[in-house]
Amino acid sequence: MAKLIDGKAVSASVRAQVAQEVAAMKEKGVTPGLAVVIVGDDPASRTYVNNKKKACAETGIYSEEYALPASTTQEELLELVRTLNGKPDIHGILVQSPLPKGLDEEAVIEEINPQKDVDAFHLQNVGRIMIGNFHFLPCTPAGVIELIRSQGIEIAGKSCVVIGRSNIVGKPMAMLLLHNNGTVTICHSKTKNLAAICREADILVAAVGRPKFVTEDMVKPGAVVIDVGMDRDENGKLCGDVDFAHVEPKAGYITPVPGGVGPMTIAMLLRNTITAAKLQSGLKD
Ligand code: GUN
């Protein structure tokens, strides 16, 4: 039986730390501020944005929402980002992804002041992560590292396998595990002998976006299994990239879906917003 890694509990403790830190910053005259931009009416994006605003309110972070119609032009969106770059009460800017068709997401991200890029998606921040000289870490991979650490699990020297190579999760996840001295393999749709490679993993991170993709035969007994997936099974029920029912008896640690990695992403966003506010106001840790 695996030990369940409770993302809600770990996230609650990070949020409590954030709330304390925000209160201390306010005493020094700085209120961290986050602007969340949502374009169009994607229901999943709406839920994510509402959760982000709620988390800000609960921890004392000032937030502003900019909800734009799907008909917004590239130039209008770039102009909004420029305005937010110039707002002194806004330290973090998050443009919710995906953007409606026709809008160039990469160009929008590049317009964000890198010091306000709390997603760490800007090329400058991606480069900083690559060389290990970063201000912000991307929220989901940072949340995964926090979950692993919360269990007292050592990453150094461990065999780590990441399934998935997206810019948002897979690639930065691999870099963060490497920074923590893991020995890292990235697997993807063209990988041969996937199951055999995964079976070597002491720490297995699934970020493929396919329901129940990781089966019991892909897991080493006692492995740490982290599920970044947010999928729907054949009955439309929320599930992850890991076949939880069959993998759980074999793993040493496992994250559930929901209640694993998901709650950590927002907690890390709050932390990045604090970092951004310190960076821009000159406040020290
Ligand atoms: N859409 C889904 N996850 C994210 C995220 O972490 N940041 C942004 N900006 N958009 C998202």
Mean pLDDT, rounded, of the chain = 97
Given a cut of 80, is residue 285 above it in pLDDT?
A: no
- Residue 274: CB atoms within 10 A of its CB come to 24
* Ligand 1, pocket residues at CB < 6 Å: 48, 94-97, 119, 139, 265
Q: Which of 70, 101, 80, 74 is nearest to 36 (CA)?
A: 80
Give SS3 for 272: helix
The reported pLDDT for the residue numbered 270 is 98
For 160-181, write each residue's pLDDT tens digit. Answer: 999 999 999 999 999 999 999 9
> What CA–CA distances, in Å, run from 217 to 40, 196, 223, 234?
42, 9, 12, 21
For 133-159, write each residue's pLDDT tens digit. Answer: 999 999 999 999 999 999 999 999 999
The reported pLDDT for the residue numbered 26 is 98
Given a cut of 80, is residue 10 above it in pLDDT?
A: yes
Helices in the chain by DSSP H: which ranges? 7-27, 43-59, 74-85, 105-111, 123-131, 139-150, 170-179, 194-199, 244-247, 262-281
Say if pTM beats, i.e. exceeds, 0.85: yes
Contact predicate 70/57, CB 8 Å: no
> How many angstroms is it from 119 CA to the middle of ligand 1?
7
Pocket test for ligand 1, best of 65, 81, 96, 269 (most atoms within 8 A of CB): 96
Based on the residue annotation, tell me whether 190 is a catalytic residue of this protein. Answer: no
